[in-house]
Amino acid sequence: MFNRLLSTVVILLCCLSSVSAQPIRLVDQQGREVVLQQPATRIVTTFTPANLFSLSLGLADQLVGIGGSTKQSPLISQLLGERDPLVIGSRSAGTSLETIVALNPDLVLVYGKKDGYRLADRLTSLGIASIIIQPETFSDAQAVLDLIAKAAGVEDKAATIAAENQRLANIISTALADLPKEQRLQAYYASSSDLFRTASEQMFQHELMAKAGLDNVVSGVPGFFPKVNAEQLLLWKPQILVRGSNGSDKVDEQLNDSLMTSLKKLPQVHIPQGSFWDMPSPMAMASALYVAANAYPERFKSIDVEAEIARYYQVAFGQSCLSPLQEFKKC
């Protein structure tokens, strides 16, 4: 009787082990199928949004390599704590394939551009799994979270963040629900490095403004951060400026030009420096709430926007004080 019982337990454990060992099948944002034999525990990221998505999913311990210069970011440094993943390069300076290979990763997160495609192909040829991600929209951002979470076995965390993003989206849509189309503000996005570098309809910043109830005056202008001239900008007659997050005095200097007098007088929404709020990231909806509340303050006067965003950071990152609207140096 005991032997039969023991045999049954062994069979059940073997079955459970077989179920848990099922391969993880992923389809990345370029349609590539990637198969992992088990959840990724040694992850390399190659660009800033990938760092942010991974850290929001609580994968700091799994990051053995990190791309970009974001280790100098107070936010990223706070999230990494005492951990010290190796810097493998950046998109601008180039990524070191040799360094990545030496880290023996079981997953590399690659940016979906030409150089990224080549890197992914090279990694595949070396037997290293990689997924291409290209978060350009709000829906893309959630898809990236879901993809990385599935790869790392933390799908519950991605679902929690999705619910929190929906909560913030509901706050925005409720506040702007009865805003007539003709009262939507005409907005112009100014890159932090140049007033005349803006966001086209194909870029994340365009959707950010749309989520915040703003109409982007740039229409039909193609390209990535297209350059416009002063005459065209004035003809668009924007009613509000949305300013990029990186610190620079150049835009202020350009606005001081005599030709730009009318623009200088416009309301301005400054994306907080170091927030990563004007790039595709897990914090995209928090950014939309911030922009909307600053663009239409009367409609959000009964909402504690700082508290709502702090709550988001508590859910996503485990620390409300990491919000750029808080003094997170005190975390």
Q: Which of 286, 278, 273 is nearest to 313 (CA)?
A: 286
Instruction: Select from 207, 153, 173, 197 the least CA-distant residue to 39.
Output: 153
The confidence band for 71, taking pLDDT boundaries of 50, 70 and 90, is low
pLDDT digits (tens, 9 = 90+) for 268-311: 999 998 899 998 899 999 999 999 999 999 999 999 999 999 99
3-state helix, strand, coil in the chain (%, to 5): 50, 15, 35
Q: What is the mean pLDDT of residues 180-192?
A: 95
Q: 167, 123, 151, 148: which is closest to 23 by C-alpha?
A: 151
The DSSP result for 109-165, as a single string, is EEESSHHHHHHHHHHHHTT--EEEE---SHHHHHHHHHHHHHHHT-HHHHHHHHHHH
Global pTM value:
0.89
Point out the least confidently predicted range of 5-19, 158-172, 289-303: 5-19
Spatial contact of 179 and 296, defined as CB atoms under 8 Å apart: yes
Distance of CA 75 to the CA centre of its chain: 13
Bridge-based pairing of strands 107-111 and 130-133 is parallel
pLDDT of residue 329: 59
- What does the DSSP assignment read for 268-318? EEEPPTT--TTSSSTTHHHHHHHHHHHHSGGGGTTS-HHHHHHHHHHHHHS
More confident residue, 18 or 117: 117
What is the mean pLDDT of the segment spanning 211-221? 93
State residue 19's pLDDT score.
47
pLDDT at residue 224 above 90? no
| pLDDT higher than 70, residue 7 | no
CA distance between the termini of the chain: 59
- Please, which pLDDT band fits residue 43 given cuts at 50, 70 and 90? very high
Ordered structural domains, the chain, with CATH: 19-155 (3.40.50.1980), 163-330 (3.40.50.1980)
Helices (H), 23-133: 48-56, 74-80, 97-102, 114-125
Percent of the chain with pLDDT over 70: 89
Measured in degrees and rounded to the nearest 5, phi and psi for residue 40 equal: -65, 130
Greatest Cα pair distance, the chain, in angstroms, is 95
Q: Would the CA dihedral through 294, 299, 302, 305 be positive or negative?
A: negative
> Is the Cβ–Cβ distance between 100 and 128 less than 8 Å?
yes
How far is residue 3's CA from residue 260's CA, in Å, rounded to a whole number?
A: 88
CB burial of residue 32 (10 Å; 0-12, 13-18, 19+): middle
